[in-house]
Structure 1
Amino acid sequence: MEKTDKPLTKNIRPDRAFTTLADYESTGGYQGLHKAITELQPKDVQQWVKDAGLRGRGGAGFSTGLKWSLVPMDDISQTRYLVANADEMEPGAFKDRLLLEQDPHQLIEGMIIAAYAIQAKIAYIFMRGEYHLAAKRVENALQEARTEGYLGEHILNSEFNLQIYLHTSAGRYICGEETALLNALEGKRATPRAKPPFPLVSGLWGKPTVVNNVETLCNVPHILHYGVGWYQGLGRGSDQGTKLFGASGRLKYPGLWELPMGTSIREIIEQHAGGMRDGYKLRGFLPGGASTDFLLPEHLDVVMDYDAVAKAGSRMGTGTIVVLDDKTCPVHMVLNLEQFFAQESCGWCTPCRDGLPWTVTLLKDIIAGKGRMEDLDTLAGLTRMLGPGNTFCALAPGAMEPLQSALKYFREDFERYIVAVEHV
């Protein structure tokens, strides 16, 4: 059995042709599912994924196997659900789109194994509404899987049954929050739910529900196929496996690459993305998408794993780096991000509903020459008032991360707008 060091992208070709069922099976596809169903009990599958060290690739980094193990399994007749979160709307993130469009059977196999591990008989793919090509290809792949007997009744001649349905979102950023996603899937307004109870106990229609990111689920078949030890050996540092790392901005070759967990930010930006375009210098970057704190060129040698990036003062998030160059104003960049977050707030809680528009107003006033030095203190205060523990979900705290770090690292840019006016 030939093993690979790029399991997530091994089937993705330069012509970006859709990987059919026959293509997928020819490279070992559905062998992980065969092993899970014919050789392992659900609890064993949970343990394999836990031992492999797979952590959620949607941004939180929680242990996937541990998450599955928290689902109540005592009542064999209880309804359980699995949901794949494909609502990728984080600015700067485009990793799941590649997997959905180019190799959808990888997701489907991962979902079947995950559903078997928690004994769910119904699963949903909750997909961003704008991903039209991805939706078409996923639906085609689902039909292929049904025809071949990988979905439906008595999968692989076992007692396990599963149906997977594709649901396209109406389109709100808040749907990426798992409980808002569940409300939307139920046909309700997409607002987050109070926790506890957590979805693992009371989720979709009040039943135990696991929500996993697309990239997370795409790792699962390879763990079962190639083994725990192989997966652990892919990472370079404290985290296991590979990761889809992206980079966007004024780079020579912006894009997406599958690399070992623990790859340095310098390698991603300078080697794989080719460095900055001619005439531009790196001033800073958001390491994990729009809702992460800025880091500086001095942090280039930080490795991309959850703990290392956190120690540097940010979050790895989705692993998709957004670069700030020396000719882009960080105040304008932050305003652009805060406008997005303010627009996408569900309006459920006061700090987010009122605090984000207030943030936008202050930033606009500063840029328009109507700002005061005390406005910077107000903005800093907002980053605390809208921070973790003060809002109903993580949208506003995430929105504050680029702002709080911009005030820390680029304060002179904010002050320049104000001082220029005061000197007039």
Structure 2
Amino acid sequence: MNVTGIIAEYNPFHNGHAFHIEETRKNTDADYCIAVISGDFVQRGAPALLNKYDRAKMALENGIDLIIELPVITATSSAENFAQGGVCLLNALGVVSQISFGAEANTASDVDLLGRLADFFAFEPPIFQEYLDQALKSGCSFPAARAKAALTCLQQAKHHSMDSQTLAQFEQLLASPNNILAIEYMKAIRRHNCKLTPSVVTRTGAGYHDADTDTALASASALRKFIFQDTSDQKNNFDTLNQMLTRTVPDSVRELLLTAYESHAFLQEDDFSDLLYYELQRQLLHPTASDADTTRSDLTQRIANKLESFTCWSEFVSDLKTKNQTYTAISRYLLHALLGIDGELLNAAKTYYYAPYARILGFRKDASPLLKELQAHSQIPLLRKIVKERQNLTPEQQKLLDLDVYAANLYNRILFKKSGIQRKNEYREPLIIL
């Protein structure tokens, strides 16, 4: 059985994702494709546009055979831990031989250089940290500082025989968010000796941050921005949205998104503003032992100083942003505060390499042979009915699963407040079976 894994958010699913799945099947000759997806909260420190079951359904209708949820503590972590969790989860299933991901890599040379960068980051030389600290002190954001420090190390390493052209290629590759994540996937494979062969699909169409929706291959961020634009004229906006979605997403996804639009079922950070404000106030009144990390301590102090002027989540993040800290990193920090993700939970996640179990969200009926193989070979618990299976987990796994349940309940409560849609409790929510 030839099984390929994909790590994704599908937030929302669009033509680019459909293209990636199609190319993945072609490149790997896969019998089955498993997607590990973020749940109700995503890596940029925000709620998903739609709940995880709707997004799982989108993927199952468009080429994926089985969907597994990435635990919320992993899905909302840094790129390194996000990639580590996804890769280790796929590897621990015991049946996945390849992992497919997109990258801005147009040639075999580019793919080779991504591999060389992955080797470098998997086993960073001691001098790297010194260069990283220097770049951070100069005012660079962490991603920019990391790239600068890596390029300096690579340029100085004699065995790399770095010429100016290769250096320029490295610099260009490190400038892309998708390439950074691709490098993290490859790094995790090397660092944890995973039995996964990388398969790179060249990204086409709009870039990661491109807001253009006048294309068949618009980015997920462009779709979200379009959806959350001014909605004062509901009828005209519905027609305009329909036209845009007709270009950018598969028909089944368009129907689901239009239904969600009419039901006011799309969520974003600012829908959680009041909950975040109350939680930050509570933590200021009842502080707990915090990390010794200087950056985090500085951020905590800025939060305390600026909380009085809090208006909403997005504006508060903008107020807290500095040269060294990105909007996304701060938003993730606030999301962790809201969800109660503390050092104890993070240590529990690290114990399992951010892959404590594999919770199945849905599958296609014709993938039953795949399910049998998973049950026979998985090295981590397979969860289908958590009301029965929770008791078989270790105390640490139970805490991480309880966090997933809490996050979903919080998401569903805000969804109900905004749309009137009431979803079942996580212990009673059925799997998506197509």
Per residue, is there more helix in 1 or in 2? Answer: 2
The TM-score normalised by the length of structure 2 is 0.28
Say which structure, 1 or 2, has more relative contact order (CA 8 Å, 6+ apart). 2
